[in-house]
Amino acid sequence: MTKLIDGKKISQEIKEEIKLFCNKLKEEEKQLPGLVTILVGNNPASFSYVNSKAKTCNEVGMISKVEQLDESTSEDELISLIKKYNSDEKFHGILVQLPLPKHINESNIIKSIIPEKDVDGFHPVNVGKLVIGEDTIIPCTPYGIIELLKRYKIDTSGKHVVVVGRSNIVGKPIANLLLQKKEEANAIVTVVHSAAKNISYYTKQADILIAAIGSPNFIKADMLKNEVVVIDVGINRIEDKNSTKGYKIVGDVDFDEVSKIASYITPVPGGVGPMTIAMLLKNTLIAYKLLTNN
Ligand code: NAP
């Protein structure tokens, strides 16, 4: 029978673990981990992400600060602010909410955060360390996937993992993580993208399928083999006349069909999504430990 991978439950467990750590720091009157989130402009989705990150930080007992900057902020002004936080000992994590307004070069911004405080794990130094298998700050969504597989005791060693999607934030890092000759990795990894002529040829071979495409219900049951483990990263809004909002959120995998043949599957919502914020807090804690030796 198909088992649901409950990201909501696991993310709650991780937040509780972090809360315990922060409570202990408080008792010992030690400095608390701090995260600063920088938002440029008025994108409503970004605004809601930033607020929910700040709220979750406070819930676990971390220090959190939101810097909300005007849409017209220049690249130099943003870099100056980041540099200020690079040397501010109260903050161990710096997160610049993406996407940025078009006049700001995203890559320059990512590189201006010192790698030790890069809690998104996007800095080239952290990406390089990930690829060569060194300890580093791992991007939150792939880190969340690794944690789900680990806590559900899903063995990846020698298994064929097929990742659909090659973005820098999901596809490439998760493929590289699972490829490492390490415990909780050691997989045979195939990465598929839009140039693939016959996607099913690849997906049908998957023991573990990771979908990070951005296309609603794209992966169907006849593209997979029985007993496959399915990790659905997609978050897509589709019209739903039965909902008061007029829409609902679905993944990249056709859950109704695929849940009938999979051994494990993440739901959307409630699978990978909640893990991303939990792993951001975990990364802030890792950065804190790195910077303070606590
Ligand atoms: P992205 O940067 O748009 O990348 C999508 C990838 O899918 C690209 O590599 C693209 O190929 C590939 N692709 C698109 N259509 C395809 C097709 N028909 N066949 C095969 N490959 C195809 O997206 P992303 O940032 O990785 O995000 C993917 C999804 O995950 C989105 O729904 C996003 O909202 C969601 N997401 C969720 C979380 C979370 O916390 N749960 C975090 C991040 C993203 P090319 O490279 O050839 O264009």
pLDDT at residue 81, rounded to an integer: 98
C-alpha 232 to ligand 1 mean position (Å): 11
Strand partners, 231: 210
Nearest CA, atom 17, ligand 1: 194
25: left (phi over 0), alpha (psi -120 to 50) or beta: alpha
Walk along the chain (294 residues) and give the pLDDT tens digit of each residue: 889 999 999 999 999 999 999 999 999 999 999 999 999 999 999 999 999 999 999 999 999 999 999 999 999 999 999 999 999 999 999 999 999 999 999 999 999 999 999 999 999 999 999 999 999 999 999 999 999 999 999 999 999 999 999 999 999 999 999 999 999 999 999 999 999 999 999 999 999 999 999 999 999 999 999 999 999 999 999 999 999 999 999 999 999 999 999 999 999 999 999 999 999 999 999 999 999 987
Q: Is the CB of 194 under 6 A from ligand 1?
A: yes
Q: Is the CB of 162 under 6 A from ligand 1?
A: no
d(CA 110, CA 98): 10
C-alpha 193 to ligand 1 mean position (Å): 9
Going by C-alpha positions, the residue among 167, 139, 45 that lies closest to residue 98 is 45
pLDDT at residue 293, rounded to an integer: 85
Task: Give the CB-side neighbour count of residue 88, counting CA atoms within 13 A.
Answer: 17
Q: Which helix (H) or strand (E) holds 67?
A: strand 63-69
Nearest CA, atom 12, ligand 1: 165
Q: Is the CB of 199 under 6 A from ligand 1?
A: yes
Nearest CA, atom 14, ligand 1: 213
Strand partners, 63: 34
pLDDT at residue 294, rounded to an integer: 79
d(CA 204, CA 213): 17
C-alpha 167 to ligand 1 mean position (Å): 6
Q: Is the CB of 278 under 6 A from ligand 1?
A: no
Q: Which pTM was predicted?
A: 0.97
Active-site residues, by number, are 53, 97, 120
d(CA 104, CA 274): 29
C-alpha 196 to ligand 1 mean position (Å): 14
Q: Which two tokens stand for residue 67?
A: 């810097």
E-strand stretches of 97-233: 160-164, 188-192, 208-211, 229-232
Domains of the chain as residue ranges with CATH: 29-114 (3.40.50.10860), 140-274 (3.40.50.720)
Q: Is the CB of 235 under 6 A from ligand 1?
A: yes
Q: Is the CB of 34 under 6 A from ligand 1?
A: no
C-alpha 83 to ligand 1 mean position (Å): 31
